[in-house]
Amino acid sequence: MTGTTPMRLPDRGARRRWPAGRARSAERRLAADHAALFQTPAPGGFAAGDLAGLPEPVRRCLRAAIAPGTALAQTARLRMRGHIKVGRWLPFHAEQTLSPHRGFIWHARVAGLIAGSDRYVDGVGAMAWTLLGLPLARAAGPDVTRSAAGRLAGETIWLPTALLPRAETRWTVEGPDQITATHHLGATTTQVTYQLDPVGHITALAFDRWGDPDSTGTWNWHRFGGDLGGHHTLNGLTIPTVGRIGWHYGTTRWDTGEFFRFQLTSLDPLATPPQTPPR
């Protein structure tokens, strides 16, 4: 689903049914992976003291995003829908467990035909997708891990309580309406720059992400990001719920690099570990 390799329909002879025992074992592993992402919320609720020492544009952003008294969740479950470009634009719906300092698992179904997940768990990135139950795309390794770590840094906007200094996020200011958060995930450091409106809402983000968006066979750093809007308050957190995301953001190639248009439909911060994976 990253667009780094072409997707082809496999031969029907490759289709196999998993034995019931193997399927149950896979379900148990999946549930364990989701539980492993859980991070205990920080004690107390959001207060003015959480912003002490931060530059004014950063304080403005976090005040706009987090209501006073909101629990300081570090893990959440999300649901979204939209369109993703897989050769052409196709509709998708997805559910995700997101833990900005640990990882993510994103399950999606595309056009009712393609199903699978992208993930970053225990410092390892991977993806696995099927078409009508047939293997379609599978990838892992150092390049996929580095790319997935960058994606996780970008998606932290959906859980702004994980962007507070007590969560060890480091902030710098580029201008009155432009701020940068530095994220360290495994061996990957990502600096995500956010554009703010006068209220402090994030309207765009941009960063360098490791990838091969043109399927050249050579991975490198490429500009990545997108435009954000539709800010709504969900469980005390005011976040962008619609956006356009892709490679080459802010360059002359943005029109061809955009591949993801989303609408977030729910956000549930977690106070306890998830007992079952999203459905």
Which letter does DSSP use for residue 18 in this model? Answer: P
Please tell me the predicted confidence (pLDDT) of residue 18.
40
- CA distances, 271 to each of 199, 268, 278 (Å): 29, 9, 16
Amino acid at 44: G
Please tell me the predicted confidence (pLDDT) of residue 5.
37
Domain layout of the chain by residue ranges: 45-103+141-269
Q: Per DSSP, what are the bridge partners of residue 82?
A: 92, 262
Please tell me the predicted confidence (pLDDT) of residue 166.
87
Please tell me the predicted confidence (pLDDT) of residue 278.
61
Is the CB of residue 229 less than 8 Å from the CB of residue 203? Answer: yes
Residue 28, SS3 per DSSP: helix
Residue 30, SS3 per DSSP: helix
Residue 82, SS3 per DSSP: strand
Is the CB of residue 45 less than 8 Å from the CB of residue 231? Answer: no
Per-residue pLDDT of the chain (279 residues; tens, 9 = 90+): 344 433 433 333 333 444 545 445 556 677 788 888 999 998 999 999 999 999 999 999 999 999 999 999 999 999 999 999 988 999 999 999 999 999 999 999 999 999 999 999 999 999 999 999 898 999 999 999 999 999 999 999 999 999 999 888 999 999 999 999 999 999 999 999 999 999 999 999 999 999 999 999 999 999 999 999 999 999 999 999 999 999 999 999 999 999 999 999 999 999 988 766 665
- CA distances, 172 to each of 150, 181, 191 (Å): 18, 7, 10
Query: What are the strands, taking DSSP E only, across 49-113?
Result: 71-72, 76-86, 88-99, 103-110
